[in-house]
Chains A and B, each alone.
Chain A
């Protein structure tokens, strides 16, 4: 079966009509009979000891059904949550309790949960819970945290270093000794958040009769939460069903197993009534995992031709108070640095620091935007110091398509060598620069400067590991009404899986995507699942659908051949029927060809079998198949971003004038969907580059806790993003697809930051941080001599 027709077309999304009518079903839209609502009591301190909790007034408040603290949790739930990915480099594997035991480690940590007959009453009562806190010294900045005299983030910690490790390739010491030049940069990136528009939420429903727990939850990874609950409750597998309804964005932080979910399940089981908790936005600012605080001290060694000899340095990663993802983020960051360039030697010492802030786990890009920013800033530094064209420096160092598959020389976190499978990096850069009008940019820039205006252009190249293993399986089934059902374990948060997976399946059966119904994120429908993250579903889930659908199509033909008494080679699946494709001699001999064929409905009924009759020879019951595509390694997407900005040097305001993307994610299932993913990712990058920063006081008190203080990009901040596809199919999976969900963000931050620095060249300003806000731009210009310094460049 070859893929054609629906695959590759910009078909309209199956998801949309329901959502456009306001008829979607998000977790807060679920209302069960007898349902109660929960509110959490959270720590107001970044670090404190809990000397006692008095819940008597809260328990006596009107409409309150339960108040749970650590002491009220069942036995199995008093241990810290399990770390997702342990690693030998982790010396202090701190993980949170479901409700704080005797110490709180960040402002917003869960201390108690109140369950009442409405959220209003639950919040009333939560305010009556009296917690005796003894504040302890706290530390917010990851560099300060690793100083010898820093206060301990955890009272029982030995230091604020959770883990140390080194990632290396080649002999960097020798490379630096033999270098023509060595250039250094210190870069810092700050925290942002996912800020999905729908906050987190859960409805737990305990069935006393069946002894089963059904959890409706806005999660990216239903099976992960199911496994956690099975472990905590000591249940057999069919006692916990986790179902993800429509989800209002995920971007990473809806993936983890959060304390609140477990606490709500505990309350529902204790009360024997459904319990709902919906995170409000204020909670979202202090209790949903964040990402991107990192500090890098880097140096690059180049030869006389500006070719890279080595890159080395130190990365300090801010883990926050706990490390649920182990060392995954800094590892990804460090492994992303080489990107599309030949880096013969490489050494990064990684320090994972504990601070009294919310834990960091992946946010769209998952460590990669930082790695790309580091390398692209180094490229610009080399160009600037050598007086070379930044595009030329990049091109000179680029991996050529004929070098594919290319071994980078470093080890990924799965222990395997990082090996790029395919891609044409120089072609992507050439095309992006051509579209962006790079050739005449110096002239435009000079002209603008003569008029006192400051234009800048930034280039960013990124290579992205996508389609992470081990698998995401899919079941494909032809129903007895003739429709096709596809079940995927991972849930969906806007990525259009219900459309793109239907496109993949539809071609196998020769049906319209309207006849394919995709169900995602339900542990009751498929036994194993991983979840949606790491730009992985098209690769893992897509190929599983492809394999399972191919298998089912084969079964259909075999069974139809028996029913019609014709060879399979004569049959074709078309329009929901098996029909005679061409007339073989055998078929002709039978005569009466017109109307010959069987509907999928008839074949599906036949495939079930009849009591007392043997199954047709060689067949198995039902037209269904479950496949788990298991990639051996990641498929590497890549892209070039070119941003053109104008900076107002008086106010520091940055205007994006133009933004061009040439992106390669292999074969494209639905161009409209891929463009949507990239554009959305770029908007996120623009936020990270210019606006978004979660600010904390020195001792860890969050100072940005609403959308007035934390600025997300708005419709008049984001320009039209020009997206162009460069298709290099990966040889690593049958569909030739690579991931597309994160590339926009990964490359985007560096493009915008590079453009701002380029605009400010006349002032000698260097941008070594993200975000770069108007206040900082004005301060940097002032520190470099002020707007007057531009005088020498005016004419």
Chain B
């Protein structure tokens, strides 16, 4: 018999109670049990960063964490970023304006990594942004648009005017 446990988690402000197998990874829980498929699985060994979510505000590789370990915690995923169904948040908008995505598969993880980072460090330099992004692999963009978008979002968060599509 599979080893089952009951867990309670809050995801993007909504509470869920589920009985899960103890071996179930957090990303599979989000994707298959809660049907929040915005978080993607890219490598299942913690390198590519596509599955990055925030657990109590801290970025986590949800492929390396078990669902039971999230019991009692508050999670943020890509689905929780936009303020409503019709608009995007400033970081998402910056990605749109700076061609920060092509296939879009790595994007949710990249957005969550940057969300955590920019909350604490809206004054980041390009070098710092590139360092933080080195934990997320993108095969399409060469990171150019991602870096430009992050810098634009940072400027907006600091209250400065946006400068879309410019290289810093």
Please give the residue numbers on chain A whose beta carbons come within 8 Å of chain B beta carbons, in ascending order: 10, 12-13, 15-17, 19-26, 28-29, 31, 120, 194-199, 246-249, 251, 278, 280-282, 493-496, 672-673, 675-676, 679-684, 706-708, 712-718, 720-721, 744
Report whether A12 and B96 are in contact in the complex, using a CB–CB cutoff of 8 Å: yes
Answer yes or no: B78 CB below 8 A from chain A CBs.
Answer: yes
B residues near A13, Cβ cutoff 8 Å? 96, 99
Q: How many A-B residue pairs have CB under 8 A?
A: 179
B1-50, CB < 8 A from A: 21, 23-24, 31-32, 35-45, 47-48, 50
Of the candidates A194, A280, A494, the one whose C-beta lies within 8 Å of that of B104 is A494
Given contacts A120-B21, A676-B141, A712-B137, contact A197 B42 (CB under 8 A): yes
Question: Could you pull out 13 A-B pairs where Cβ atoms are within 8 angstroms?
Answer: A20-B82, A21-B38, A21-B79, A26-B37, A26-B40, A197-B50, A198-B105, A673-B99, A680-B102, A707-B137, A708-B47, A712-B137, A718-B144
What 9 A-B pairs have minimum CB-CB distances, sorted nearest first?
A22-B38, A248-B105, A494-B103, A19-B104, A683-B142, A22-B78, A494-B102, A715-B133, A707-B47
Report whether B165 and A672 are in contact in the complex, using a CB–CB cutoff of 8 Å: yes
A residues near B147, Cβ cutoff 8 Å? 715
Least CB separation from B24: chain A residue: A120
Report whether B105 and A249 are in contact in the complex, using a CB–CB cutoff of 8 Å: yes
A residues near B102, Cβ cutoff 8 Å? 249, 494-496, 676, 680
Report whether A22 and B142 are in contact in the complex, using a CB–CB cutoff of 8 Å: no
B residues near A246, Cβ cutoff 8 Å? 103-104
A17 and B81 alpha carbons, distance in the complex (Å): 12
A residues near B104, Cβ cutoff 8 Å? 15-16, 19-20, 24, 246, 248, 494
Q: Told that A251-B139, A706-B45 touch, could you supply 20 new A-B pairs with CB distance under 8 A?
A: A17-B88, A19-B101, A20-B111, A21-B82, A21-B92, A22-B36, A23-B79, A199-B42, A246-B103, A248-B104, A249-B103, A676-B140, A679-B141, A706-B47, A707-B48, A708-B47, A712-B137, A716-B133, A718-B142, A718-B144
Least CB separation from B109: chain A residue: A197
A675 and B130 alpha carbons, distance in the complex (Å): 20
A20 and B93 alpha carbons, distance in the complex (Å): 9
Report whether A197 and B96 are in contact in the complex, using a CB–CB cutoff of 8 Å: no
A23 and B107 alpha carbons, distance in the complex (Å): 11
Report whether A16 and B105 are in contact in the complex, using a CB–CB cutoff of 8 Å: no
- Least Cβ–Cβ distance between A187 and chain B, in angstroms: 25
A680 and B142 alpha carbons, distance in the complex (Å): 4
- Least Cβ–Cβ distance between A254 and chain B, in angstroms: 11
Given contacts A19-B107, A197-B42, A716-B131, contact A494 B140 (CB under 8 A): yes
Report whether B96 and A712 are in contact in the complex, using a CB–CB cutoff of 8 Å: no
B116-167, CB < 8 A from A: 127, 129-131, 133-134, 136-147, 165, 167
Report whether B140 and A16 are in contact in the complex, using a CB–CB cutoff of 8 Å: no
Report whether B37 and A198 are in contact in the complex, using a CB–CB cutoff of 8 Å: no
B residues near A278, Cβ cutoff 8 Å? 41
A248 and B103 alpha carbons, distance in the complex (Å): 5
Report whether B88 and A197 are in contact in the complex, using a CB–CB cutoff of 8 Å: no
A640 and B14 alpha carbons, distance in the complex (Å): 53
- Least Cβ–Cβ distance between A192 and chain B, in angstroms: 11
Least CB separation from A194: chain B residue: B139
Answer yes or no: B54 CB below 8 A from chain A CBs.
Answer: no
